Amino acid sequence: MPTAPRTIRRLPETLVNRIAAGEVVERPAAALKELVENALDAGAGQVSVRLAAGGIDLIEVTDDGCGMNPAEIALALERHATSKLPDEDIEAVSTLGFRGEALPSIASVARLTIESRVRGSDEGWRRVIDNGAVAEEGPAALPPGTRIRVEDLFARVPARRKFLRSPRSEYAAAIDVIRRLAMARPEVAFTLEHDGRRTLALQGGQSAPERVAQVIARELAADGVGIDMQRGEARLTGVAGLPTFNRGIADHQYLFVNGRPVKDRLLTGAVRGAYSDMLARDRHAVLALFLELPPGEVDVNVHPAKTEVRFRDPAFVRGFIVSGLRHAIEGAGGRSAQGPAAGAMERWQSEPIAAPARPSLGALFSREYALNEAARPWRGPDFAPAARAEIAAEPVAPAVTHPLGVARGQVAQTYIVAEAEDGLVIVDQHAAHERLVMERLRAAGAQQALAGSQALLLPEVVELDEVQCDRLEEAAPTLAGFGLAIERFGPGAVLVRAVPASLRGGDVQALVRDVADDLAANGAALLLEERIDLVLATMACHGSVRAGRALSVTEMNALLREMEVTPRSGQCNHGRPTWVKLAHSDIEKLFGRR
């Protein structure tokens, strides 16, 4: 049954604000982000945040910024009123906020109180908005700056309130917001209280590496590498964790564009590409990257939440990040996230619960015991067979002359034991040699692997949609340089005439479809290079020294010396460490000397 036509009408301002709030204020953390960004844009040197129930019951942000007078407070609560676009040039945005939507949107779905005092003024002003309606206003006593309270978020919008998560989950999202903004502005001091307990305190005036290490993980100072790379007007800085310092989830990756925290698929894809042959597929790098580009090269007006951006030249951005990360990691040489695992140290220090039975003193001198035990060394029932250690019989150089020391033996025909100036180094011979072979292949044969192609006896037709074919056709010259020769074959297909030599025998259909998907997502066919890296990694694995092979001292030392001059030798092709060090202090602790 057809419905009667309805007259187009203008929506009430309160409803318009609530609709806008659905985009800007999807949860307490989103409201907190907008308020803290306003504080930073106001020139704050100290930002204090108080939360209750993860921000559901209370969000309070206090800053010592420039403050607002009564007229500015009233104007700030109107939609699309802002001080951050003085010349109306939205392509040259240099502030975190600029849309003028946050405060009215928040005020339409909560009870919002603004108190502000301009520096140099005798008193401040207070204005209260209760779910879109002015409740009260008047003078207020507070130091120069602004204090904003948001109470009972979505209390009168039950359809939105019921979709909020538990206070614990909302608090986790809120503290993530504070951490990202704190890293973006290391010169600003931050404090955070949740349910009356202080959970974060960051002093101002820190450098970016100091703030990053304090916020992400203190170990990053020792297990990370600094990045500072410039190409034209683009600059990439930050701290990247060594491949062996990784996590099981990608939540420890913090990305910033022109000082703005973002979550962008292009940037996360570039990070994944940079670590592609150094991390297992289920592990993720730990890092904080700060990308600076001319404002005209970045579109920040993509979404009201302002966490997404678009780049004028995405291929350049991805390539710049990949090369910057790889250059920094290679500059770390053979470094690895060191220090024996706590569990391993506990096993070293723990004593057996029940001491294994030992022969009596008389039996030790009996001929029968001596004959029986002469064939094998004694060991307790709960211990594995003793591992044989190859002794370095020939003279060796002093340990102080080499970073990884000199070989003293081989344990279980798998681990090389070396003595260094500052401790004991244990090397996984297969993992180490695997990385060395991989780097040799890349240095000596990667160019041939990328440039060389294998012509197909019968060209293969790959059917795709027209848009994907357009992308592949545009990228055909670049792909030809990698050995993948394709040409357009009608509106919805491409013809594959050759594939990279190292990928011959593979699934051509799957390869072309994956490259097309990668072009759609990132605008650059880096997936093909990553696939070739995986092929080289497989070749390196099969061509490496296996565990269980006895090595001479000369071979062990040759392996150590090559590791010292090979980039990224601190981890194998799967992200596992190739060597660990037991410092002298750790050894002394094991024997109770410290």
Of residues 488 and 387, more confidently modeled: 488
Query: Residue 291: which pLDDT band, with cuts at 50, 70 and 90?
Result: very high
Superfamily of domain 427-594: MutL, C-terminal domain, regulatory subdomain (3.30.1370.100)
Dump pLDDT digits (tens) for 395-445.
Answer: 555 555 787 888 888 888 788 888 888 888 888 888 787 777 777 666 655
Cα–Cα distance for residue pair 300/309, rounded to 1 Å? 5
211 vs 294: CA distance, rounded Å: 25
Residues 262-284, mean pLDDT to the nearest whole number: 82
pLDDT of residue 21: 56
Q: Rounded to an integer, what distance in angstroms lies between the CA atom of residue 530 and that of residue 518?
A: 11
**Residues in Cβ contact with 135 at an 8 Å cutoff, skipping those fewer than 6 apart:** 111, 128, 129
Listed range (114-118, 320-324, 573-577) with the worst mean pLDDT: 573-577
Give 349's pLDDT tier (boundaries 50, 70, 90). Answer: very low
- Digit-coded pLDDT (tens) for 536-580: 555 556 555 666 678 888 888 888 888 888 777 777 766 678 888
> Candidates 3.60.40.10, 3.30.230.10, 3.30.450.20, 3.40.718.10; correct CATH number of 208-331?
3.30.230.10
Write the burial class of residue 459 (CB in 10 Å: 0-12 exposed, 13-18 middle, 19+ buried). Answer: middle
Give the per-residue pLDDT at 333.
Answer: 61
Radius of gyration of the chain (CA): 31
Task: Provide the 8-state DSSP code for 38.
Answer: H
Mean pLDDT to the nearest integer, 90-98: 60
Q: What is the pTM of this model?
A: 0.66
Quickly name the fold that domain 13-202 has: Heat Shock Protein 90 (3.30.565)
Distance CA 177, CA 28 (A): 10
* Per-residue confidence (pLDDT) for residue 233, from 0 to 100: 93
Q: Please check whether residue 254 is in contact with residue 288, taking contact to mean a CB–CB distance below 8 angstroms.
A: yes
Reported confidence tier of residue 586, pLDDT bands at 50, 70, 90: confident
Q: Is the pLDDT of residue 378 over 50?
A: no
| Spatial contact of 34 and 25, defined as CB atoms under 8 Å apart | yes
Instruction: Tell me where in the chain the CATH 3.30.565.10 domain(s) lie.
Output: 13-202
Query: Is residue 95's pLDDT more than 70?
Result: no
In the chain, residues under CATH classification 3.30.230.10 are 208-331
Q: Where in 172-299 does DSSP place strands (E)?
A: 189-194, 197-202, 224-231, 234-241, 246-247, 253-257, 260-262, 284-285, 287-292, 298-299
Backbone φ and ψ of 582, nearest 5°: -105, 105
pLDDT at 450: 47
- Cα distance between residue 505 and residue 323, in whole Å: 30
Which residue intervals of the chain bear CATH 3.30.1370.100?
427-594
- The model's pLDDT over 21-42, given as tens digits with 9 standing for 90+, comes to 555 688 999 999 999 999 998 9
User: What is the pLDDT, as a whole number, of residue 326?
Assistant: 87
d(CA 528, CA 453): 13
Please give the structure tokens belonging to residue 453.
């192609």
Backbone angles phi, psi at 141, to 5 degrees: -105, 115
Geometric angle at alpha carbon 220, from 218 and 222, rounded to 5°: 100
Measured distance CA(335)–CA(223) in Å, rounded: 8
- pLDDT the model gives residue 375: 42
